[in-house]
Amino acid sequence: MTTTRWTSLSSLVLAALTCALTLSASGQAEAQTRRSGPVFVSAGVGPFVLFDVDTSFRLEGQLGWHPGGHDEGFFIAADFSFSIERYYAQVYGGFRAGADLEVFANNDVAVLLTPQGMAGFGFMDFGRGNGGYGFLIFQPSFQVDVALLERVLWVWARPVGFDFLLFPDTFRWRAPVQDRGFDWYWGYQFMAGARFNFG
């Protein structure tokens, strides 16, 4: 009788372990399939405040790639932006790098935090004979992403973003004499947009 009980108990434990391992493997496979591809395109809009100048409307686009082969972790991206307001127009391009860090995920939605930075070169035109100004730009920022539709569509907000603009004298043309020499400005952006993952 005792042997029979131990045999039954062993069979029950073995069946439970087998079931648990099967469910775990299935869950991992499902989680893996929920990840989207490593390539993404992103677009965003929002206000940009250039301190001591004015507030402009900014459009931004990115084309990026995750070397890890899916939509999380380290990424690099080509970045393009255009800003306009009544006093000036600004355009710049550069390269962005950062990391998409998942903090929550289930079958329907995922939340990711994205610290990132961008470096590039741009041009600013004040019009009315005030000349053109080339500049170097450095942009540290922090973004919150919400992944939807099996992680193909992401919506994002960037509540923390600062632009540091450096204006070397050699990057200026048609500028008034009094505006010659090295200068720098900084500004704050609040952007929001959408991103599509594929690949």
The string of pLDDT tens digits covering residues 72-118 is 999 999 999 999 988 789 999 999 999 999 999 998 999 999 999 99
Residue 42 has pLDDT above 70, yes or no: yes
Q: Output phi, psi for 35, to 5 deg.
A: -70, 145
What pLDDT shows up at residue 22?
43
Residue 34 has pLDDT above 70, yes or no: no
CA–CA distance, 70 with 73 (Å, rounded to integer)? 8
What pLDDT shows up at residue 29?
41
User: pTM for the full model?
Assistant: 0.78
What pLDDT shows up at residue 176?
57
Instruction: Say which residues have a Cβ less than 8 Å from residue 132's Cβ, sequence separation at least 6.
Output: 123, 124, 125, 172, 173, 174, 175
User: How would residue 171 be classed by pLDDT, with cut points 50, 70 and 90?
Assistant: confident
| Lowest-confidence region among 20-34, 40-54, 63-77, 185-199 | 20-34
CA–CA distance, 67 with 75 (Å, rounded to integer)? 7
Task: Tell me the H-state helices in the chain.
Answer: 2-34
CA–CA distance, 148 with 110 (Å, rounded to integer)? 7
Count the Cβ atoms, other than its own, within 10 Å of residue 77: 21
Residue 6 has pLDDT above 50, yes or no: no
Hunting for tokens 């935090």 — which residue is that? Answer: 113
What pLDDT shows up at residue 54?
86
